[in-house]
Amino acid sequence: MKDLLFEIGTEEIPARFMPRALADLASYAAEELDGVHIPHGEIRSQSTPRRLVLYVKDVAEKQADAVETFRGPAKSAAFAPDGTPTKAAEGFARSRGVSVSDLKVEKIGNAEYVTAEKRTAGEDALSLLPDVLNRLIRRMSFPKSMYWGDKNVRFARPVRWIVALYGDRVVDVEFGGVKSGNISRGHRFMGSSSVPVKDAASYAQAMRDNFVITDPEERKAMIMDGVAEIEKELGASVTVDPELLDENVHLNEYPIPFYGSFDKEFLEIPSEVLVLSMAKNQRYFPVHDADGKLMAYFIGVSNNRAKDMKVVREGNERVLRARLYDADFFWKEDQQKSLDERAEELKNVTYQEQLGSVYDKVRRVKNIALTLADKLDCKVDKTLLSRACDLAKADLVTNMVYEFSDVQGVMGREYARRSGEPEEVALALYEQYLPRFAGDELPSQLYGALIGLGERLDTLAAIYKIGLEPTSSQDPYGLRRAARTISELIWGLSLDIDMDEALKLAADQLELPPERLEKLRAFMAQRQQVQLREKGESHEAVMLAMQAAPSRPLQMFRLSEVLTKAGGEEWFAELINAAVRVKNLLSKSEEAPGAVDNSKLTAEAEKNLYQELGKLTSEAHNAVSACDWEKLAATMAELAPVIAQFFKDVLVMDDDPRIRANRLALLGECQDFFMQIGDFSILK
């Protein structure tokens, strides 16, 4: 066995292409090798900005032998009664290239047939690998590809060299006019432009000697170690965003972390803008002090260990200074206009060509937010909420948000603070966008939450109005995300909103046709079901909770929690079994159950059940009405052993029609108890 190395050398590939490319390279390699039956060991895919690397351990020197089995004529047709082969057997053996004596008899189905095995010796791996690697490189695809000569050959970036080695033997590969060999290239600045690779096993060290670290995880560790050293030197804390870290990993072949500084006067700009400017434009990490306050430092990652890193630092400081001057200009220029003036400008900004302007949307959102505040009877100042709604999208037409779209809301908050708006209003302009992603923080006050709910409800209704609802493959307006955020706000802030009413409120403003409103309601219910399952609630509990509280997501969530917890209890299993038996027996009865005649109750178990139902049905009703799900669970737990004993001791389908009818009537009352919650048979 020998190791296989396949290195595709290119011009710099964009960092965002790399995660998928690495996964595809390993997956396709496994498929191609398995497809030609070449046994192999571990497959590793690695990369730097200038190369994709495939390393396969313990590749067998020969293809596995192939054994094919062919079915021939029936045994009775192939052999005479005395065992002599017939012409049919001889002809079959001849057609398969075997002797008659090699034929076997196998039972297939209910009959016996003669079979022949043909064994083909495996080919040498070295003769198969060229086709394997040629197919592999041509299977690679990217979000955007280039051609650089032959228009039929495309790759992420032009291919400049190819190393393909099976042990120390070159595997012949040709792509884009480049033929494979055993010559790689080192780091563009610190390594050699020609690096001979003796064999697959020595490749990693040859690269390391030329300042190329092919393992992305090792480069990530190098960056984190460098950041930790800088933290100690500055006595600071560095915020390492995972996405920014991955980007730096895939931008550098030999990462060298360094730090620089900028003028403290720029700290007057909101920290979010500074952080975004550093990260988005320069891929720098921000630096904070022990109290979490942004410091006038940044950490960058260089792909070159210069003789004097001071030169690298100063060059980066100059570039960042220019960026921050732009941000400072936007910051000061934006404050020349009031937020009210900005809000008026929204009349000239189209939300969607069929749905009017952003200003129109703001009006609709305001009505929803104020109505929700009334419905919830929450403690918010309606004047402040109204003001926050009016200014909610004013920062969208500022220079700062135009330049850095990710700071929408942040700039609204900061401009509102500097213009003297109440803190509740300023904070709402930021918190309307929370949570921005799964696991993100929730609004700290209801003002922003109500605006956020209003905006997402309006978005759902608006997009359903124009018929652009999500499909299985597309969701261009982010309606799934909007639905998820609505539920997270409701559950996280304990907002007992009637979703049917909320959707109708949004729909009425847009004159949404009834059939599209129903589709929207179904969409929301489906998303809520998915989210509850993601939270760990059992499928059955979620389905029953959605029956008990169909349009109230908060109560749906709380009940599903209680039911999921009860799912492990013995009494709950008894209750479910009883509920299913009740439903089945009643469904078999030809007549609807009447009223229970107490005088016809003969068995002790049915008397006890009748008495308990009289008390517990009322308690369950009160618990459901009050959404007291713990009380409901306690009530069900009290009923469970009583109804279980009833089925143990009592024969419902008694021969006496009067007793049978009375017992069915008793089951009818049991069914009434269960249906206050839902159809328990779905839990079975």
Q: Does pLDDT of 680 surpass 90?
A: no
CB 384 within 8 A of CB 422: yes
Instruction: Name the CA dihedral angle for 332, 336, 338, 339, rounded to a multiple of 10 degrees.
Output: -40
For residues 9 and 159, the answer to whether their CB atoms sit within 8 Å is yes
3-state helix, strand, coil in the chain (%, to 5): 55, 15, 30
CB 487 within 8 A of CB 527: yes
DSSP string, 267-329: GGS-HHHHHHHHHHHH-PEEEE-TTSPEEEEEEEEESS--S-HHHHHHHHHHHHHHHHHHHHH
353-535 CATH choice from 1.10.3210, 3.30.160, 1.10.540, 2.60.120: 1.10.3210
pLDDT digits (tens, 9 = 90+) for 318-352: 999 999 999 999 999 999 999 999 999 999 999 98
pLDDT digits (tens, 9 = 90+) for 449-481: 999 999 999 999 999 999 988 888 888 889 999
* Long-range CB pairs of 403-410, under 8 A, 24+ apart, other chains included: 403/326, 403/327, 403/330, 404/273, 404/276, 404/277, 404/280, 404/327, 406/276, 406/280, 407/270, 407/272, 407/273, 407/276, 408/433, 409/433, 410/270, 410/272, 410/273
β-pair type (169-170, 174-175): unpaired
Is the model's pLDDT at 266 over the cut of 80? yes
pLDDT for residue 84: 87
Mean pLDDT of the region 245-265: 96
Ramachandran sector of residue 551 (left: φ over 0; alpha: ψ -120 to 50; beta: rest): alpha
pLDDT > 70 fraction of the chain, expressed in percent and rounded: 100
The count of other CB atoms within 10 Å of the CB of residue 174 is: 13
Task: Give the model's pLDDT for residue 83.
Answer: 85
Q: Which residues, in sequence order, are bridge partners of residue 124?
A: 62
User: CA 166 to CA 195: how far, in whole Å?
Assistant: 17
CB atoms within 10 A of CB 271: 15
Whole-prediction pTM: 0.75
Q: Do 133 and 6 touch, CB atoms closer than 8 A?
A: yes
Cα(590)–Cα(595) distance, integer angstroms: 16
Residue range 26-51, pLDDT digits in tens = 999 999 999 998 999 999 999 999 99
Contacts (Cβ under 8 Å, ≥6 apart) of 246: 15, 19, 220
| In the chain, where the domains are located | 2-62+124-208, 66-120, 216-334, 353-535, 566-683
> Does 225 score more than 90 pLDDT?
yes
CB 136 within 8 A of CB 32: yes
Q: What's the pLDDT tens digit per position in 276-315?
A: 889 888 999 999 998 999 999 999 999 988 888 899 999 9
**CB–CB of 28/137 below 8 Å?**
no
Assigned CATH for 566-683: 1.10.730.10
Q: What distance in Å separates the CA atoms of residue 396 and residue 417, rounded to the nearest whole number?
A: 17
- 19 contacts 27 by C-beta, under 8 angstroms: no
pLDDT (mean) for 103-125: 85
Quickly state the pLDDT bin for 482 (edges 50, 70, 90): very high
CB 7 within 8 Å of CB 53: yes
Tell me which residue has tokens 């910051």: 331
The helix (H) or strand (E) run that includes residue 73 is strand 66-74
Q: What is the CB neighbour count within 10 angstroms for residue 127?
A: 10
Token pair listed for 301:
């990652």
Q: What is the pLDDT of residues 578-622, one digit of tens each?
A: 999 999 998 887 776 788 898 888 899 999 999 999 999 999 999
- Sequence-separated (6 or more) residues with CB below 8 Å from residue 418: 335
- C-alpha distances in Å from residue 596, one per residue of 585, 592, 600, 653, 671: 16, 12, 8, 15, 13
Angle, alpha carbons 640-642-647 (nearest 5°): 95
Q: What is the enclosing helix (H) or strand (E) of 72?
A: strand 66-74
538 has pLDDT over 90? no
